[in-house]
Structure 1
Amino acid sequence: MPVRPADIDLAQRLADAAGAVIRPYFRRPAGLETKADQSPVTRADREAEEAMRRLLDAERSGDGIIGEEYGEKPGVTGRRWILDPIDGTRSFTAGRAIFGTLIALVEDGWPVLGVIDQPVQRERWLGVAGQPTLFNGGPTRTRACPALRGAIVATTSPHLFAEGDVPHYMALVTAASGGAPRQGPVYGGDCYNYGLLASGHLDIVCESGLKLYDFAALAPVVEGAGGRMCDWNGDPLTADSAGHVLAIGDPARTDEVLEALRGAVDDGIAHDH
């Protein structure tokens, strides 16, 4: 089923609803707690997801929902809304406006609509399968990258990577920097990095250990801007992907990026199948 204008409008209103909750908490006490997986959560995370779920229950009661804070609500339509109210809670609690709300619509396992919304700076990327990505309502594009050497690589933090993945990431960084320490990676940013890549400010984002709610919204945004989203084996991202995520602004660099990742050790990288 193609993405309908009503779906796009609903995704925008979901982002508006989350942002209205989040902004009053920014740089103010928000009840920081630590979840069982040792990740942080605040009242802003929970209340923003609750606001989005209320809207979906009212307007798409047959659709499924998967959210970071409140888990899965099964649906009957084959469509699921994937919600991450604050992707980058650490940045949010540190007062850094480089977190974002992620909203995706997944049909038959494939992300077909994605929103990256930065509610404090009021920056929003909207990606829809088969359509150009929009940034605050206007078209936006990734940039050309003539060679892997010199490409700007970003990641939130290698400390968040799954065990054994850091050497592969470092091999990519080395290939991109050409051994020049001052050409190192950009750290921090969570989903905001993918918006920056879609708008031509970064060349590569490399992450490991992501969940569906972390990456489902990113693929339509990056690909609609002319980039490539895939796992570390070069396969497209679906609801079954294991969380090794690459965003490549210039798809011509894909083979070089994958080769650099594989070059870290002889036994190959973890597969997402």
Structure 2
Amino acid sequence: MPASASDLALANRLADAAGEAIRPLFRGTWTAERKPDASFVTEADRAAEEAMRAIIEAERPDDGIIGEEYGNRNPGAARQWVLDPIDGTTSFIAGRPIFGTLIALMEGGWPMLGVIDQPVLRERWVGRVGHATTFNGAPVRCAPCPDLADAVLGTTSPHAFSGEQVDAFMGLAKAVAERKIIYGGDCYNYGLVASGHLDVVCEAGLKLHDFAALVPVVEGAGGTMCDWQGEPLNADSTGEVVALGDSARLEDVLEALAGHAHD
């Protein structure tokens, strides 16, 4: 069943709770450590996820939770809340307010509701299947992109690509206009696609908690999200992700990634 108005209200409350935990620590004093995968986790990541999990466990005890920091709860549940308390921990550590809290509700493995919340700037994108994406409560739309050569392309880091992924990304980079590529941004870039400021985002190595919330936000604004083969994103996707503001450019992007871009 689609995400309900009460699901939406709960998602907004989860984002509020995460923001309350994060804001006092931003550019402040906090502890951090490296996880087994060498990524960083901070006191703010943990506090924000704890705050969100406490609300879900109290109000939706039958729902599942997939959290970046504290793992899975009720893994067999059809409805799963997917939480990334700080997507872009490196930006948080560096004092750059382009990280975000990601909240998704998945049904049967498919994202039905998504929130991208930037708690310092107090910017929030909300997407729900069957409804228009909103930015701070007002509807937003992706921008048309008549030619891939004129697109603005974003990615968090070129270091996230490995092996053949490097060649694929460089093929896409060559297909867009020179000097119209931005690096850094994590989930914030996908909000910018939904609001019509950025045309394409291309990433690899994403986990479910990195991309589940992004899908309803981008698609509810008229864009497309898929993997590098053009397939829809779900719980089984590999983490090679493309977001497009203009769906008409999908074939061009996939061709560029595959090394078949037109000269």
Q: Report TM bin, short chain.
A: over 0.9
Report what 2:27 is aligned to. Answer: 27
Report what 1:261 is aligned to. Answer: 257
CA drift of 1:58 comes to 0.4
Question: In structure 2, the residue corresponding to 1:222 is in which secondary structure?
Answer: helix
Cα contact 2:151–2:180 (8 A) shared by 1: no
When normalised by structure 1's length, the TM-score is 0.94
Report what 1:240 is aligned to. Answer: 236
Matches within 5 A, 1:206-245: 206-245=202-241
Tell me the number of residue pairs that the alignment of Structure 1 and Structure 2 aligns: 261
Report what 1:250 is aligned to. Answer: 246
Question: After TM superposition, where is structure 1 displaced by more than 3 Å over at least 4 residues in a row?
Answer: none
Report what 2:116 is aligned to. Answer: 116
Aligned equivalents of 2:160 and 2:31: distance in 1?
23
Identify if the C-alpha distance between structure 1 residues 37 and 264 changes in structure 2 by more than 3 Å, giving closer, same or farther: farther
| Aligned-CA RMSD value | 1.2
Amino acid at match of 2:94: A
Amino acid at match of 1:234: G
Aligned equivalents of 1:255 and 1:47: distance in 2?
42
Aligned equivalents of 1:225 and 1:11: distance in 2?
18
Question: In structure 1, the residue corresponding to 2:173 is in which secondary structure?
Answer: helix
When normalised by structure 2's length, the TM-score is 0.97
Cα contact 1:162–1:209 (8 A) shared by 2: no
CA drift of 1:2 comes to 1.9
Matches within 5 A, 1:1-273: 1-75=1-75, 77-177=77-177, 180=178, 183-263=179-259
Cα contact 1:62–1:76 (8 A) shared by 2: no
Aligned equivalents of 2:55 and 2:164: distance in 1?
40
Gaps of 5+ in 1: 266-273
Deviates more, 1:153-162 or 1:98-107: 153-162
Amino acid at match of 2:202: C
CA drift of 1:150 comes to 1.5
Gaps of 5+ in 2: none
Output one character per residue of 1:166-213: Cα deviation in whole Å (capped at 9) or x when no partner.
110011000112xx3xx2410000000000010000000000000000
CA drift of 1:29 comes to 1.8
Identify if the C-alpha distance between structure 1 residues 163 and 30 changes in structure 2 by more than 3 Å, giving closer, same or farther: farther
CA drift of 1:88 comes to 0.1
Question: In structure 2, the residue corresponding to 1:84 is in which secondary structure?
Answer: strand
